Amino acid sequence: MICTPPRASESPPPRLAIFHRSLCDSRRRPQVSTAPASSLKFQVSSFKSPNQMKIVAFAFAAAAALSAADAAQQASVHLRIHDKGGSCTITNESQCNGQNWTGSTCCADSSYECRWSDDGQNVQRCQKKKGGNTGGNTGGGSVADWGACTGGQKCSNPSSVCVKYSNYYSQCKPATLPAGELCGQNDGTNVWKYDKCPSNQKCTAMGKDFRCTNKKQQKIAPRKDGSCTITNESQCDGQNWTGSTCCADPSYECRWSDDGQNVKRCQKISDTADSYDSDSDDYSDDSEDIEYTSYVDDWADCTKDDVGCSNPSSICVYHSTSYAQCKPYPLPSGELCGQSDGTNEWWYPFCSSGESCEANGSDSRCTKAKKRHHHHRQH
């Protein structure tokens, strides 16, 4: 194509001179037409030669390329605005966002992501991305135990509970917490309590945190003196009392009346309070109130002060001053329920239904009641 300026006497065709000058003058940037489609159609139809048509087509192609470049540039600027710092420099487990944060929010490690801290702090940190099997909320939209369920995510375990720590963080917890697990917080930001400790533990305040700790209980050993016949809530001791001081129900104990009366009654043993009456003659208890550090099954040795029975309904019964054993309630049929041989002096008369603790020499065993036979005299 040869570009020649129009003669002075000639009037350039409408619009064509614009494209002609734009394409031939290297000092000027090609101009992009902003005329409506109907106007452009009219211009194209007014061009009479093939060369004029080629010039127009070339101009439109150049304009389209420039528009695409401008759009890409705008998108790049938009992305940089969302990434405050512009570069991915935040190291693993470091803060990446939060109140008045002005730095980068992009983690250097692509396997980490900037999210609210898993420990409940009111700050965002670069933390390991959570996979589908480790508590993340990717994939099926459910969260495993100990995973973040913030924002209404469901726990994958049907028995688990999404516990809200604060307005910024929630976590899926199992129906029963492991021993020693965190069960609550009250630090101003995180205010929550999930009292679902194992049966032998309770949720105890420890500063601003709550943790599952072993219940404090005193060991008891029923005395052989008298039978355990006092019914629930009945008097079992007091001034000039001469009857039995042993409660028939092992989940009850003889202690000063809870209503303040100057009398002792068989009352329900508290699960959380150390309520065994050290003044009662019916029990010998530990000299100190020690928190259990380990638990044993039925029939196992519980002599040590810090050892308790793992079964909540069982009782650690002292056979002597040097040996104690966890016994179930009630005892199995025919089981040993007492001894009196000079060394072992104990009495645990809680036999199965239909049996009673009967002495047989120095031992006592759970024995079925003998049936009485009625003899009819013949006439």
| pLDDT score, position 29 | 45
pTM strictly above 0.85: no
For 312-325, write each residue's pLDDT tens digit: 778 888 888 888 88
For 219-253, write each residue's pLDDT tens digit: 655 454 556 788 889 988 888 888 877 787 777 88
Query: Is residue 75 scored above 50 in pLDDT?
Result: no
| pLDDT score, position 376 | 55
| pLDDT score, position 53 | 58
For 161-204, write each residue's pLDDT tens digit: 999 998 889 999 999 999 888 999 998 888 999 989 987 788 88
Query: Is residue 366 scored above 50 in pLDDT?
Result: yes
| Backbone φ, ψ for residue 65 (5° rounding) | -65, -40
Neighbours of 112 (CB within 10 A): 20
| pLDDT score, position 54 | 58
| pLDDT score, position 177 | 92
H-helix or E-strand spanning residue 113:
strand 112-116
Name residue, tokens 């032998």.
200
With H, G, I as helix, E, B as strand and everything else as coil, classify residue 156: coil
CA distance 242 to 203: 41
pLDDT band with cut points at 50, 70 and 90 for residue 273: very low
Name residue, tokens 């300026």.
5
| pLDDT score, position 300 | 92
- Peptide bond preceding 330 in cis form (omega within 30 of 0): yes
Question: Mean pLDDT over all residues of the chain?
Answer: 71
Name residue, tokens 């029975």.
309
CA distance 82 to 317: 69
pLDDT band with cut points at 50, 70 and 90 for residue 134: very low
| pLDDT score, position 57 | 57
Residue 20 CB burial class (10 angstroms; 0-12, 13-18, ≥19): buried
Contact 154, 162 (CB under 8 A): yes
Query: Is residue 117 scored above 90 in pLDDT?
Result: no
CA distance 56 to 311: 92
CA distance 143 to 160: 10
Strongest mean pLDDT among 14-23, 148-157, 265-274: 148-157
| pLDDT score, position 270 | 64
Strongest mean pLDDT among 226-235, 246-255, 289-298, 329-338: 329-338
CA distance 67 to 69: 5
Q: Considering only 137-141, 241-245, 373-377, which range has the smallest mean pLDDT? A: 137-141
CA distance 363 to 18: 122
| Backbone φ, ψ for residue 41 (5° rounding) | -60, -40
| pLDDT score, position 136 | 41
CA distance 174 to 157: 8
Query: Is residue 364 scored above 60 in pLDDT?
Result: yes
* Arithmetic mean of pLDDT, 120-133: 70
List all residues 6 or more positions away from 37 whose beta carbon is below 8 Å from its beta carbon: none
| pLDDT score, position 60 | 55
Residue 79 Cα to chain centre, angstroms: 36
* Arithmetic mean of pLDDT, 64-69: 54
pLDDT band with cut points at 50, 70 and 90 for residue 146: very high
Q: Amino acid letter at 174? A: P
For 249-259, write each residue's pLDDT tens digit: 777 888 888 88
Residue 102 CB burial class (10 angstroms; 0-12, 13-18, ≥19): exposed
